[in-house]
Amino acid sequence: MENVLKANTITLVVPVFNEEKAIPLFVEQLETSLFEINLKNSRKFKFQILFVNDGSTDASEFIIRNAKMTNAEIQLVSLSRNFGKERALFAGLTYALGDAVIPMDVDLQDPPEVIEQMLNKWSDGASIVNAKRISRSEDSWMKRTTATAFYRIFNFFAERPIPENVGDFRLLDRQVVDAVVQVGDKMRFNKEVFSWVGFTSEQVEFERPKRSDGTGKWSVWKLWNLALDGIFSSSTMPLRLWGYLGFLFSLLAFVYVIFVIVFTVVFGRSVPGYSSTIVMILFFGGLNLLSLGVLGEYIGRIFTEVRERPTFIVKSTFGLEEE
């Protein structure tokens, strides 16, 4: 999609799913912060707010359409159903036309005040400006532990590591956005794609406030599936690891066979150990099932990719026609 906008246009991409209560407060605080940015800086920016309605069943779409009556720069892309945040964000990147794009959460846990710091880094030449959380003190012990474990495991396996404690909240230059949109993965894990495309990156840090309204949509099960999608879509290392483990255990089994033969020849009797035999059978049986599970994850993703279904389906747009 060709960029026909003037320089200094910034598009804020905001995926929403049943956020009718959070949207008005978000728009109010965001407009205030954006006004202050232009008030304090000699370089003036044109800010667009592109909402992506990810199949909401509440009044989210109506509220967004109503908000455009007071802010002409609000735009809306409504998807035909709930495709999930990763695909909704990709839809927003596809339709965003700004010279730079900033994905944000509508719950105000991505503080609008940080945008000014991002723009300063971008003006200095950075193509990507990551917003890193200083701490996760507001999270539970379990969430902090699992998040730390995920980043370490992911970066161990991944071809390109991702920065720790950096979510989707970041600034992406137009060139970066065009590169991300070209990546045709159906199983989207945007954080990995942002890292994979390369380009010069900088970082700003911020304290993440509490959610402005309601509760998060990410259950433990959804987070687990997202973690699996991230690992298996970014690296074939798990398959290679099982090859190494298979070779190691085959070597150990061969050594054990030699031991049994030598023991029998020297002492004239077989090695006792019914319990140990059962343990070994169950252990290797479990490894076989686990390796099949790893293979199944990759085969399932191959099945998804080869069907070539669209990543998302747009039901309607609002405020984009003039662009």
Q: How many domains does the chain have?
A: 2
Which stretch of 95-99, 118-122, 137-141, 283-287 has the lowest confidence by average pLDDT?
A: 137-141
Q: pLDDT at residue 74 above 50?
A: yes
Element (DSSP H or E) covering residue 130? strand 128-133
- CATH number, domain of 160, equals 3.90.550.10
53 bridge partner residues: 16, 78
Distance between CA atoms of residues 102 and 119, nearest Å: 10
pLDDT at 172: 92
Is there a domain that residue 2 lies in? Answer: no
Distance CA 120, CA 60 (A): 32
Mean pLDDT for 122-133 is 86
Examine residue 4 and state whether it is found in any structural domain, yes or no: no
Residue 175 domain-assigned (yes or no):
yes
Question: What residues pair up with 170 in beta bridges, in sequence order?
Answer: 130
* Amino acid identity for residue 188 in this structure: R
Whether 126 and 257 map to the same domain: the answer is no
Residues 245 and 290 in one domain: yes
193 and 159 in a single domain? The answer is: yes
Both 122 and 69 in one domain: the answer is yes
228 found inside a domain = no
Residue 2 has pLDDT above 70, yes or no: no
Q: Say yes or no: 201 and 86 in one domain.
A: yes
> 247 is in which domain, residue-wise?
237-307
Q: Would you say residue 232 lies in a domain? A: no
**Which tens digits make up the pLDDT trace of 242-296?**
666 766 766 666 676 677 667 666 666 655 665 566 666 766 776 776 777 677 7
Which residue, among 234, 232, 233, 225, has the nearest Cα to 84 in the 3D structure? 225
Question: Would 26 be classed as within a structural domain?
Answer: yes
Question: In terms of domains, do 255 and 205 share one?
Answer: no
- Judgement on whether residues 98 and 157 belong to the same structural domain of the protein: yes
The 8 Å CB, 24+ separation contacts for 214-218 are: 214/19, 214/21, 214/22, 214/107, 216/107, 217/17, 217/18, 217/85
SS3 at position 206: strand
Q: Report the sign of the C-alpha dihedral through residues 41, 163, 186, 313, in that order.
A: negative
Query: Do 246 and 198 share a structural domain?
Result: no
Mean pLDDT of the chain: 77
Q: Are residues 90 and 32 in the same domain?
A: yes
Within a domain: 177? yes
C-beta of residue 98 within 8 angstroms of C-beta of residue 5: yes
Instruction: Please state, as a whole number, how many other Cβ atoms lie within 10 Å of the Cβ of residue 6.
Output: 8
Which comes out higher in pLDDT, residue 92 or 134? 92
Please tell me the predicted confidence (pLDDT) of residue 231. 63
Answer yes or no: do 81 and 214 share one domain: yes
In one-letter notation, the amino acid at residue 26 is: F
Same domain? For 209 and 88 the reply is: yes
Q: Do 207 and 78 lie in a common domain?
A: yes
Give per-residue pLDDT as tens, 16-56.
Answer: 988 888 888 888 888 888 888 888 777 788 889 999 998 88
pLDDT in tens, 161-210: 777 778 788 899 998 999 988 887 777 778 878 888 888 888 888 887 66
Whether 137 has a pLDDT exceeding 70, the answer reads no
Give the pLDDT mean for 144-155. 69
The answer on pLDDT for 6 being more than 50 is no
Q: How far apart are CA 30 and CA 206, in angstroms?
A: 16
Could you tell me the maximum CA-CA distance found in the chain, to the nearest angstrom? 93
In this prediction, residues 125-134 reach a mean pLDDT of 86
Judged on CB neighbours under 10 Å (0-12, 13-18, 19+), 275 is: exposed
- Residue 155 falls within a domain, yes or no? yes
The model carries a pTM of: 0.70
Q: Which of 125, 159, 132 has its CA nearest to residue 235?
A: 159
287 in Cβ contact with 249 (< 8 Å)? yes
